Amino acid sequence: MKTLVTVTADGQLELPEPAREELGVLDGGSVELEIVNQTVLLRSVGDDVPTDEELARIRRGLADIEAGRVRDVTEEELLALINPIDRP
């Protein structure tokens, strides 16, 4: 799909309805804008875009995995951690 849009004096543009429908962008939805070789790319991102804090936690988790600080846990072990048995 190709269409012409106008950029307002304050930098805003309106995505035509057919473009919003094709991207699956609802009213108030978000798109990611990327500029590659002087071409503007828009991608629908929905509400699942991680915050900077979430990205930092993901990076720390990946670093832990890479460093071997993570191990497999069985369902039984996990349940024991969540619901410890009272011991005298």
Task: Report d(CA 63, CA 69) in Å as an integer.
Answer: 9
Digit-coded pLDDT (tens) for 11-21:
999 889 888 88
Average pLDDT, the chain: 85
pLDDT of residue 24: 80
pLDDT of residue 88: 52
Digit-coded pLDDT (tens) for 57-67:
989 999 999 99
Digit-coded pLDDT (tens) for 23-40:
888 887 888 899 999 999
Task: Report d(CA 1, CA 15) in Å as an integer.
Answer: 12
Whole-prediction pTM: 0.46
